[in-house]
Amino acid sequence: MEEIKYKRILLKLSGRSLAGSKGFGINPDVISHISDEIESIYRLQVEIGIVIGGGNIFSGLSRNAKGMDRVAADHMGMLATIINALALQDSLEKRNIFTRVLSAIKIEEIAEPYIRRRAIRHLEKGRIVIFAAGTGNPYFTTDTAAALRAVEIEAEVILKGTRVDGVYDADPEIAKEPIKYEEVSYLEMVKKGLKALDGTAITLCMDNKIPIIVFNMLKEGNLKRIILGEKIGTRVRG
Confidence band, pLDDT 50/70/90 cuts, at residue 233: very high
Alpha helix ranges (H) inside 26-175? 28-42, 70-93, 116-124, 142-153
- Rounded CA-CA distance 183/26 in Å is 32
Average pLDDT (222-233) is 96
Instruction: Give the CATH number for residue 98.
Output: 3.40.1160.10
Q: What is the pLDDT of residue 17?
A: 84
Name the DSSP class of 130.
Answer: E
**Would you say residue 81 has pLDDT above 90?**
yes
The percent of the chain in helix, strand and coil, each rounded to the nearest 5, is: 40, 20, 40
Range of the domain at 199: 8-237
Does 2 map to a domain? no
Tens digit of each residue's pLDDT (9 = 90 or more) over 161-196: 988 899 998 887 788 888 899 999 999 998 988 888
Average pLDDT (158-163) is 94
Question: What's the Cα-to-Cα distance from 204 to each of 130, 134, 184, 188, rounded to whole Å?
Answer: 20, 15, 16, 15
Does 30 map to a domain? yes
Does 195 map to a domain? yes
Q: What is the pLDDT of residue 62?
A: 62
Q: What is the pLDDT of residue 122?
A: 98
Phi-psi map region of 100: left, alpha, beta (phi>0 left; psi -120 to 50 alpha): beta
**Would you say residue 79 has pLDDT above 90?**
yes
Q: What is the pLDDT of residue 64?
A: 61
Q: In b/e form, how buried is each residue of 81-109, taking b as 16+ CB within 10 angstroms?
A: bbbbbbbbbebbeeeebebbbbbbbebee
Give 163-204 as a DSSP string: SSSSEESS-TTT-SSPPEESEEEHHHHHHTT--SS-HHHHHH
- Rounded CA-CA distance 52/85 in Å is 7
Q: What is the pLDDT of residue 171?
A: 81
**Residue 6's CB: how many other CB atoms inside 10 A?**
20
Does 1 map to a domain? no
Strands 99-103 and 128-132: parallel
**Phi, psi for residue 193 in degrees, rounded to 5:** 65, 35
Count of domains for the chain: 1
Tens digit of each residue's pLDDT (9 = 90 or more) over 97-146: 999 999 999 999 999 999 999 999 999 999 999 999 999 999 999 999 99
Does 132 map to a domain? yes
Does 3 map to a domain? no
**Residue 22's CB: how many other CB atoms inside 10 A?**
11
Tens digit of each residue's pLDDT (9 = 90 or more) over 30-67: 999 999 999 999 999 999 999 999 988 886 666 566 77
